[in-house]
Structure 1
Amino acid sequence: MKQTLQKMIQAGVHFGHPKDQWNPKMLPYIYKEKNGIHIIDIIQTWFYLKKISKFLEEACSQGKQILFVGTKKQASKIVEAVALDSNSFFVNERWLGGLLTNWTTIQKSIQKLNNLQKQENFQKFSKKEKVKLEKQKQRLEKYIGGLKNIKKPPDIVIIIGQQKELNAVKECRKLGIRTITLLDTNCNPLLADLFVPANDDSIASIKLIINEFSKSIKKGMTIWEQKKNS
């Protein structure tokens, strides 16, 4: 525990937002205020991280699928890297409205992207058509490239940056999809099913937390594969 806490402090996991930006519902997870900044109770961060990691391992050992969502600048690249490493799915550019609630339409877009990727440089088309198709492919890759192998809606959605991803939060709540959220001091814990109170603006903090998630996902997936093959 001591070693993990030290890593968290080094990554700035405990730094919240200025006190005038806080959400009062986060009070139970705030340790103190220092120089006008709220400091997150890092012991609770450690506790919740342990709890969520165990939950993810158990869920993935039953074959559950995970979607990472983080479109803000600090989270985008980490989300993609961690999702690819843990054989999960991701959205890291922009949440398209209806991505979950209008699943049929999204499936059609995914199919279109897969079809476009199969075509070699669009050799059968005219120059004008090639340019148009290439643009279509690039746009689809940008927004749903992290979903191209998904066959059904995810079982669990991990959200980094609740304030920016409220549309994703609303769609998950509407469909009853479990969410796991990194909760900074400006977030609302009542909008999250499961959460870890932590700095969601620092690259180092995001990386530390979701890398722990990734380890648990991979452990769970290994157990699932063993079950299938036994």
Structure 2
Amino acid sequence: MGEKKQEKNFNFLNVNRMLKLDIKELITANVHLGHYTNEWCPFMKPFIYSKKKGIHIINLHKTISKLNRYCNLIKDIVASGKKILFIATKKQAKFIVEETSKKYNMPYITERWLGGLLTNFTTFHKSICKLNTLEREKKTGTYNSLSKKELLSLHRIKKKLEENVGSISAMNSLPEAIFIVDIVCENIALKEAKKLKIPVFGLIDTNSDPRKVDYPIPANDDSSKSIEIIFHYINESLSEGLKLRENV
């Protein structure tokens, strides 16, 4: 499914704003540095500016263009009250993605992909509902009347649920879209999303196949500095989307 055709599905508030992106800032964060030329995916050619010392250099003008375009889509999704599932299990991205997701109450996966999370969501949803119920009961004081044995049992159940679905407890239905950092690393999640025709935003390096992503953002996905600066703008979009949602 092409970009333009796919974008029509996100016909929400459609309030567009150009981000104030500084190309020098992106260079300082190494956003432009791709993989070695012998590791590239030929379909990334439109996003590559040149080669330097055996490394492909990403065209940052394309990065800025895509980021501006897709951040507006992200903002519209959030403004509509929908959820975006963020996925990043590589160490350079985990903390950044977790911090952003928690801040804006978005579901996320940063430890390992739970096989069937999307394609067998009904099963996972039961666990999410159970965890949320336990959280509510704890806050309302329901636990106070339980014996020590019953409390211990509930704590064990709750701990197990938190380990399995704690990071996606805000996801009561399939997400409107998913955002992946490194589609090569997260190929199983990508396949599940594509099978269900869930739109995919992806941070893609020069070794990635952009055809597999609905909304590719070309950037260095191996550098924490690069990921951090990209997510600075993602944060802005999420924040604006929530503000728009509150004013509807």
TM-score (norm 1): 0.88
1:196 aligns with 2:217: yes
Shift of 1:111: 2.5
CA–CA distance in structure 1, aligned partners of residues 75 and 206 of structure 2: 27
SS of aligned partner of 2:22: helix
Shift of 1:136: 4.9
CA–CA distance in structure 2, aligned partners of residues 115 and 147 of structure 1: 14
SS of aligned partner of 2:72: helix
Residue 212 of structure 1: aligned partner: 233
More displaced stretch, 109-118 vs 19-28: 109-118
> Which aligned runs of 4 or more in structure 1 are off by greater than 6 angstroms?
none
> 1:99 and 1:133, CA in 2 relative to 1: closer, same or farther beyond 3 A?
same
> 1:21 and 1:138, CA in 2 relative to 1: closer, same or farther beyond 3 A?
farther
CA–CA distance in structure 2, aligned partners of residues 199 and 73 of structure 1: 14
Q: What is the CA deviation profile of residues 52-74 of structure 1, one whole-angstrom value per residue up to 9, with x for unaligned ones?
A: 11111222222221111111111
1:179 is matched by which residue type in structure 2?
Answer: V
More displaced stretch, 56-65 vs 200-209: 56-65
1:5 aligns with 2:23: yes
2:96 is matched by which residue type in structure 1?
Answer: I
Q: What is the CA deviation profile of residues 20-46 of structure 1, one whole-angstrom value per residue up to 9, with x for unaligned ones?
A: 211111111111111111111111111
CA–CA distance in structure 2, aligned partners of residues 184 and 39 of structure 1: 10
Residue 124 of structure 1: aligned partner: 147
More displaced stretch, 2-11 vs 34-43: 2-11
> 1:17 and 1:65, CA in 2 relative to 1: closer, same or farther beyond 3 A?
same
CA–CA distance in structure 2, aligned partners of residues 170 and 3 of structure 1: 32
Count of aligned pairs between the two proteins = 225
CA–CA distance in structure 1, aligned partners of residues 102 and 73 of structure 2: 20
Q: What is the CA deviation profile of residues 115-143 of structure 1, one whole-angstrom value per residue up to 9, with x for unaligned ones?
A: 4555569x73549x93x765554443234
SS of aligned partner of 1:88: coil
Q: What is the CA deviation profile of residues 123-173 of structure 1, one whole-angstrom value per residue up to 9, with x for unaligned ones?
A: 73549x93x765554443234222112211110101011111111111111
Alignment of 1:21-170 (within 5 A): 21-117=39-135, 118=137, 124=147, 126=149, 130=152, 134=155, 136-170=157-191
Do the aligned partners of 2:21 and 2:64 also contact (CA within 8 Å) in 1? Answer: no
| Root mean square deviation of aligned Cα | 2.3
Shift of 1:110: 1.4
SS of aligned partner of 2:118: coil
Q: What is the CA deviation profile of residues 78-107 of structure 1, one whole-angstrom value per residue up to 9, with x for unaligned ones?
A: 111011122322111111011011011101
Shift of 1:6: 1.2
> 1:205 and 1:149, CA in 2 relative to 1: closer, same or farther beyond 3 A?
same
> 1:51 and 1:136, CA in 2 relative to 1: closer, same or farther beyond 3 A?
same
TM-score (norm 2): 0.82
CA–CA distance in structure 2, aligned partners of residues 51 and 156 of structure 1: 15
Shift of 1:207: 1.0
SS of aligned partner of 1:39: strand
Residue 176 of structure 1: aligned partner: 197
Identity of aligned residues (%): 39
Unpaired runs of at least 5, structure 2 = 1-18
SS of aligned partner of 1:12: coil
